Amino acid sequence: MDIESRNPANGELLETFDTSSDEDVDGVVLRAHDAFGAWRRRSYADRAGALRAAAELLRRDALPFARTMALEMGKPLAEGKAEAEKCATTCDYYATNAERLLAPEVYETDAQKSYVRFDPLGVVFAVMPWNFPFWQVFRFAAPALMAGNGAVLKHAPNVTRCALHIEQVFRDAGLPSGLFGVVHGGAEVASRAIAHPSVVAVTLTGSERAGSSVAEQAGRALKKVVLELGGSDPFIVLADADLARAASTAAAARLLNSGQSCIAAKRFIVVEQVADRFIELFVAEVKRRKLGDPLDVDTQIGPQARLDLRDNLHRQVTESLARGAKVLCGAQLPAGKGAFYPPTVLEAEKGTPVFDEETFGPVAAVTRAKSEEDAIALANDTPYGLGASLWTADRARAERLAVQIEAGGVFVNGLVKSDPRIPFGGIKRSGYGRELSVYGLREFTNVKTVWLG
């Protein structure tokens, strides 16, 4: 038993688990492959019935699942419950729409009839992170399973109990035995699964470093990969923005999941004319959020998922201060147990870690822009390209500037979020491929041409 699950609020050991052996990994993959053979032949209606049953279980047990998330990675209860319910909504979405979205498409050619089919590929191997321990899994699994594939999950070790809950949900929902399997461990377990001949594709949500490693291994094995990696999302505030609404949304966008989100707004780029007023409103909103025990129903910000993550976040803050950043609130390590970090706002420029790097925690960098053009240039001055939020009262201006922003999604007068109806993913070092919507549904299908002469 060499995997430890610890409560980040107090450091207490929750459970220990065994790392999967090579034989364990091979067995899980082969069972998923065997189950896939029959599952792919099941009707969409049959598959939809299983996903709807999973949705019912997720709603029924949303609070117990939220408690597990709170204990394993520190997510506040209300957010964990909402996460389980969002997974249920996504299961229902694909149960309702997959058959329509995967319907054959007819094309006019020199054949008597020609069309494109979307057939399942096989077993998809997923490497998933701890920050949204249910949502990240269902985001890939619901469409992959509805398309007729099998799935094997290697979750982050610190949320192993969440992984087992998810496996049980699919089992209780009536999926064929083994179709959705779970393996436990680190990079060695992932490498074993990626190399297995019965795994046909790989998806990873995680760090840039993990994504690079998995992509390299999958490339050697000639297997398709979808990567959703880090982000340093800009939150751009122009002079005509509704500042009160922008500031309130900015606090939510930075502090959701205790700041531990790839698509959290991280760099707040504000044109000079309204910067002072926005900063005043934003800092006040941030200070209103309650930091505390994630099992307390009043808590809005829990601990960071691990102490080492909290310590790296504080390093980014202290190095930024040494390079000229200014503290507007927070930035002090709290006394006592747990991996807590206070909501922090710094005024910072390019050349500081809080601007140049991804900050994975409740730390916001506010940067003044000389003009609209300067704001867009600063927003694009990052190796990442996941999401962006743009605030302006002028819809025509917003649509013109959205073209110039280098990101997988631009949300105007709203926070960046994922939704099963629209595609999700990034560009540059934020990864490639798409999840959700019709695009995510088709990622793990064989886009097959049929030509009839």
**Predicted confidence (pLDDT) per residue in 204-253, tens digit:** 999 999 999 999 999 999 999 999 999 999 999 999 999 999 999 999 99
**Number of C-alpha atoms within 13 angstroms, CB side, residue 9?**
21
Residue pair 149/124 in contact by the 8 Å Cβ criterion: yes
* Tokens linked to 59: 């709603």
How does pLDDT run across 35-76, given as a tens digit for each residue? Answer: 999 999 999 999 999 999 999 999 999 999 999 999 999 999
Q: How far apart are CA 422 and CA 452, in angstroms?
A: 34
* Tokens linked to 157: 């070790």
How does pLDDT run across 390-447, given as a tens digit for each residue? Answer: 999 999 999 999 999 999 999 999 999 999 999 999 999 999 999 999 999 999 999 9
Residue pair 400/418 in contact by the 8 Å Cβ criterion: no
pLDDT of residue 4: 94
The stretch 95-104 carries a mean pLDDT of 98
pLDDT of residue 160: 98
Q: What kind and span of H or E run contains 345?
A: strand 344-347
Buried b / exposed e over 116-152, threshold 16 CB at 10 Å, is eebebbbbbbbbbbbbbbbbbbbbbbbbbbbbbbbbb
**Parallel, antiparallel, or unpaired: how do β-strands 150-154 and 123-127 relate?**
parallel
Confidence grade of residue 1 (pLDDT, cut at 50, 70, 90): low
Confidence grade of residue 105 (pLDDT, cut at 50, 70, 90): very high
User: Cα separations (Å) of 385 from 358, 381, 409, 418, 425?
Assistant: 11, 10, 9, 15, 9
Q: How far apart are CA 345 and CA 330, in angstroms?
A: 7
Show Cβ contacts of residue 135 under 8 Å, excluding neighbours closer than 6 positions.
Answer: 83, 86, 87, 418
Per cent of the chain over pLDDT 90 is 100
pLDDT of residue 288: 97
Which stretches does DSSP call E strand in 370-425?
Answer: 384-385, 387-391, 409-412
The stretch 267-287 carries a mean pLDDT of 98
Closest CA to 362 of 426, 276, 287: 287
Q: How far apart are CA 335 and CA 340, in angstroms?
A: 9
- So which residues are the catalytic ones? 228, 262
How does pLDDT run across 139-187, given as a tens digit for each residue? Answer: 999 999 999 999 999 999 999 999 999 999 999 999 999 999 999 999 9
Instruction: Quote helix, strand, coil % in the chain, to nearest 5.
Output: 45, 20, 35
Structural domains in the chain, sorted by start: 3-229+430-452 (3.40.605.10), 233-412 (3.40.309.10)
Match 């007729």 to its residue by tokens.
Answer: 148
Q: How far apart are CA 136 and CA 152, in angstroms?
A: 14
Report whether pLDDT(305) > 90: yes
Q: How far apart are CA 258 and CA 274, in angstroms?
A: 27
User: Cα separations (Å) of 200 from 25, 38, 217, 449?
Assistant: 15, 17, 13, 20
How does pLDDT run across 372-381, given as a tens digit for each residue? Answer: 999 999 999 9
Phi-psi region of 443 (alpha: psi -120 to 50; beta: other; left: phi over 0): alpha
Distance between terminal CA atoms of the chain?
60
Q: Is 421 exposed, middle or buried (0-12, 13-18, 19+ CB in 10 A)?
A: exposed
The stretch 365-390 carries a mean pLDDT of 98
Residue pair 299/292 in contact by the 8 Å Cβ criterion: yes
Q: How far apart are CA 54 and CA 48, in angstroms?
A: 10
